A and B are shown apart, each in its own frame.
Chain A
Amino acid sequence: MNKKTLPFFITLGLFLLMYAAGSLAYPNFFSLQVFINLFIDNAFLGIAAVGMTFVILSGGIDLSVGSVVALTTMISADLLQREWSPAVVIPAVLLLTSLFGTFQGIMIQVFRIQPFIATLAGMFFARGACYLISIDTINIDNEWYRSVSMAAIELPTGDFISINVFIFILLALIGWWLLKFTRFGRTVYAIGGSEQSAMLMGLPVTRTKILIYTLNGFCSGLAGVVFTFYMLSGYALHCKDLHLDAIAAVVMGGTLLTGGVGSVEGSIIGVLILGTIQTIINFQGTLSSWWTRIMVGVLIFAFIFMQSLLNRPTKQTQ
């Protein structure tokens, strides 16, 4: 363990601490099902966080993820209502969201629009597009979707797990592999460290950056598909603040908002921490939901404060 991996272990430690606290406070907390539920309930957030990790690692940001998830649910619900087959709907939305990501990537890289502004506009656009399809909720009656949503796979221990979890874990593994074992992934880190250097070192910076946003678009779309399984409805206000939660998870996972440092596994733990907070509040029963917001805010603060202490730049001498 060194200075680089310390943040990850702190994140992990915090998660374990919180989980332990919950277990001590509530009798039924310490069960495998509760743990699995963390994954089931937050699969969509986890997938979004994986994509967001890539974006933030490269020094960028994407505010549009929540809106894209909502748009995905909306388009899926609408198309399913028109009797389209899921086999067409799912690839279609994934393609669409990926292209949307590509568009944002081009805005950011070719037109040099700041990621904050470009994805802000993207967020408006996607949310607005939802409303163009329908102002109200559209429920999903499709047989296949319902069966996927209800599917409770029984584990040897008697606990249940949903399909969403598998999708989440699979994507997380792919994301982890991409970052650690491909040149694409290392280029992401390089860009986050110094985009100019990466360019001068001969790395394909333009291509990579556009790919990053495309990948994030895909992840948002996949998160949307998973969310659709989870909620069985299309609604413009779904995941209204998802981007904040995703950013919070990534920051808590040890990724610097300036880029260049961080990991997928850290972001996953960040997601689990968010889920644990929510679970504890649910168990508590009386605390109102806004306490989650306050807790998350406090945690974000604790993490960035710690990051700022750990990453104090060493004084460059002459």
Chain B
Amino acid sequence: MRLKLTRFKESNLFWPLCILLVLLVINGFLTRGFFSIQWKDGRLTGILVDILNRSTYIGIIAIGLTLVIATGGIDISVGSVVAISGAIAAFLIGGELVMRGSEQILVTRTPMGIAIFIALVASTLIGMWNGFLVARFRIQPIVATLVLMVAGRGIAQLITNGQIITIYYAPYYFIGNGSILGIPFSLYVLATVLILVTLITRKTALGLFIESIGVNRTASNYSGIKEQRIVFWTYAFCSFCAGISGLLVCSNVKSADGNNAGDMFELDAIFAVIIGGTSLNGGKFRLGGAVLGAIIIQTLTTMIYSIGVPPQVNLVIKSIVVFAVSMIQSEYFQSLFRMERPVSLRRNYYL
């Protein structure tokens, strides 16, 4: 039993889970009925359900982003991809009132399946562009993805023509609002992506290769790993995930806003990945941790909202949490905590 506890403690899901538990307990005290879940209109409702539902937007992105970060890179264009994906779907679907027979029904401009398909393809193409710059031309990831972060919103607005496109097509609402067996559909999407990616990375050599590339790209290349190809596809997949998230978001609010959709998503997603236990330097990655990180962020947001503080204060709290977590994770702090001689400021240079 003791051995199991120690192993669990050392497993990298320990700290994120602890943080989440602490947050949940605090919430439990602050909000009456925080933990209550009810069944209404054929679906589960409650604050907890709400948190899980909303955390999927960042959570799905965080899964793709984890793989990118694990290769030693980063993708800051995901927020813009969310906007573009939603914009494409909204543009293609639109929704107008049309007379069919003697009824007035809402019709979509393009078959919904095709609209979704195109949105996802576009998102993936953006990722392939990023991947091409990083893998083939060896451009620094933050610089390469900066291009689309900046231009992407312009493109999204171009598609929506600067307006907010409202979608008038009920079937589409299901993606962001529907539920199966009472559980929100978005959770199914998140779970599917998480399970698929976990299986693919752990049951094949892909996970090992990605970690290897993150630790030492040259050595991985010399060991016969097709490093360029793998890096390329991680960026493509990450944007694909952002595309999925974009569809969920736009469906949830039944509209696409080229300017504001996905605002600051990249920052939240990166934060989720880090809190989940993957290092920004690359190497070992934790998919489950990233999803936990996304849930933590959402719990934090909800907590602030529910205690009646203006939602903007959310930002201050988030920043304090980021600082606190980073400080605690830092070596300097760890050495203070263990009451050893504080690690010399210069130590980290000579590892």
Using a CB–CB cutoff of 8 Å, the interface residues on chain A facing chain B are: 61, 107, 109-114, 116-118, 120-125, 127-132, 135, 195-196, 199, 206, 236, 244, 247-248, 251, 257-258, 288, 290-298, 300-301, 304-305, 308
Q: Mark B248-273, 1 if CB is under 8 A from A, else 0.
A: 00000000001000000001001100
* Interface assignment of B142: CB less than 8 Å from any CB of chain A: yes
* Interface assignment of B148: CB less than 8 Å from any CB of chain A: yes
Q: Would you give the shortest CB distance from A124 to chain B, in whole angstroms?
A: 4
Main secondary structure of the interface of A (DSSP, over half): helix
A-contacting 9-mer, from B34-42, B48-56, B106-114, B312-320: B312-320
Q: Would you give the shortest CB distance from B280 to chain A, in whole angstroms?
A: 5
Q: Mark B149-175, 1 if CB is under 8 A from A, else 0.
A: 111111101100110000000000000
User: Could you tell me if B316 and A125 are in contact, using CB atoms closer than 8 angstroms?
Assistant: yes
User: Could you tell me if B327 and A107 are in contact, using CB atoms closer than 8 angstroms?
Assistant: yes
A-contacting 9-mer, from B2-10, B194-202, B223-231, B342-350: B342-350
* Interface assignment of B192: CB less than 8 Å from any CB of chain A: no
Residues of A within 8 A of B137 (CB): 305, 308
User: Could you tell me if B345 and A113 are in contact, using CB atoms closer than 8 angstroms?
Assistant: no
Contact of B310 among A131, A294, A304 (CB under 8 A): A131
Most buried by B among A118, A258, A293: A293
Q: A156 CA to B274 CA in the complex, in Å?
A: 58
Residues of B within 8 A of A291 (CB): 154, 158
User: Could you tell me if A111 and B327 are in contact, using CB atoms closer than 8 angstroms?
Assistant: yes
User: Could you tell me if B319 and A110 are in contact, using CB atoms closer than 8 angstroms?
Assistant: no
Contact-size category for B: 35 or more
Residues of B within 8 A of A135 (CB): 310, 312
Contact of A122 among B140, B310, B319, B332 (CB under 8 A): B319
Q: A163 CA to B313 CA in the complex, in Å?
A: 35
Residues of A within 8 A of B271 (CB): 117, 120
From A112, which residue of chain B is reached at the shortest CB distance?
Answer: B330
Most buried by B among A110, A290, A308: A290
User: Could you tell me if B150 and A293 are in contact, using CB atoms closer than 8 angstroms?
Assistant: yes
Q: Would you give the shortest CB distance from B128 to chain A, in whole angstroms?
A: 15
Q: Would you give the shortest CB distance from A136 to chain B, in whole angstroms?
A: 11
User: Could you tell me if A121 and B138 are in contact, using CB atoms closer than 8 angstroms?
Assistant: no
Contact of B146 among A112, A120, A130, A300 (CB under 8 A): A300
Residues of B within 8 A of A196 (CB): 349
User: Could you tell me if A293 and B138 are in contact, using CB atoms closer than 8 angstroms?
Assistant: no
Q: Would you give the shortest CB distance from A73 to chain B, in whole angstroms?
A: 16
Residues of A within 8 A of B333 (CB): 111
In the complex with contacts A111-B330, A117-B322, A131-B313 CB distance below 8 A: yes
Q: Would you give the shortest CB distance from B29 to chain A, in whole angstroms?
A: 23
Residues of B within 8 A of A296 (CB): 150-151
Q: List 29 A-B contacts (CB under 8 A).
A: A112-B331, A113-B327, A114-B280, A116-B74, A117-B322, A120-B322, A122-B319, A124-B267, A124-B315, A125-B315, A125-B323, A127-B312, A135-B312, A195-B349, A248-B150, A251-B143, A288-B158, A292-B154, A293-B150, A293-B157, A294-B155, A297-B152, A300-B143, A300-B146, A300-B147, A301-B151, A304-B139, A304-B144, A308-B139
